[in-house]
Amino acid sequence: MNITDTIRLIKAIGCNDFWQILAATFRHYIKVDSYTVFTYQDNYLLRSEFLELSAEEERIVEQYFEKGAYALSPYYELICAGKTGAYQLKEVAPSGFESSSINHNYFMPSNIIDETSLICLAEEGQIVKLSIARHGNSISFNDEDIAFLRDNNLLISSLMSKHVSMTPASQEDLSQTIKMNITERLDGFGQAILTKREREIVKFIIRGHSVKSCAIELNLSPETVSVHRRNIYSKLNISNQGQLISQVLDYVISDIP
């Protein structure tokens, strides 16, 4: 990032147009079709800082992503683990991501073909996630694009962290509306009829993990995971992954206004 852009961003810290200026700066260096900034705290999606989306994308974010589906995103696992840095979607998506709920209900309806997120720590335990995406007929982010983000990661992260620490929330925190912990809701799904191991496998399945990927994560054989999956389907009276995803989402967001 050149010195002129850096100075412009430093001057914008604490100002209402900081995120707009940062978005415009990104477009000097990388082709971007949509742009979001979210703040998380204690595994909650705390608030949306800035959205530069189409009307349809905004609807999907408001009605699906913000109401709990963010917990199904591959990036959410990084946030919960305290990871920082720049990550391209293909680096963090599990092997069965194409069939996952978050892909079918968020990425595909939003026409997103690729996404890269920059995650950084802010004050008071807050985590900021800036995501840039490409849509439709665009090509995925290339090595030069990712290199720009990683080369400038420290600078951009420092600017975002400082801005978040200096500015009050621009809207009511989502955590005040969503009065429950999404992770706890996921943990509670099927508690009355599924075993602890079966509930663990459910969480991997809905995030898009294949049987093989589940087996690796849980140190089980693929055959054992397949048996657990059949038992899960039988106990829930369902026959496929799509029905499982639907039941989980209905449960997770059922108490959210």
Q: In this structure, are 79 and 159 located in the same domain?
A: yes
Tokens 């800036």 -> residue? 130
Domain that holds residue 235: 182-252
Q: What is the pLDDT of residue 255?
A: 53
Number of domains in the chain: 2
Q: Which of these three, 161, 177, 193, is where a domain ends?
A: 177
Going by C-beta distance under 8 Å and a sequence separation of 6 or more, which residues neighbour residue 142?
none
Residue 257 lies in a domain: no
Q: What is the pLDDT of residue 4?
A: 87
pTM of the entire predicted model: 0.75
Q: Which of these three, 130, 150, 177, is where a domain ends?
A: 177
CB count in 10 Å sphere of residue 35 = 20
Return the closest-CA partner of residue 231 out of 223, 251, 206, 207. 223
Q: In this structure, are 188 and 97 located in the same domain?
A: no
195 token code pair: 């075993």
Residue 41 lies in a domain: yes
CATH number for the domain that contains residue 68: 3.30.450.80
Mean pLDDT per 10-residue section of the chain, whose length is 257 residues? 86 90 92 92 84 89 82 88 91 83 84 93 88 90 92 89 76 47 73 91 81 88 93 91 76 59
Q: Which of these three, 117, 143, 177, is where a domain ends?
A: 177
Q: In this structure, are 73 and 170 located in the same domain?
A: yes
CATH number for the domain that contains residue 223: 1.10.10.10
Residue 220 lies in a domain: yes
Q: What is the pLDDT of residue 171?
A: 47
Residue 203 lies in a domain: yes
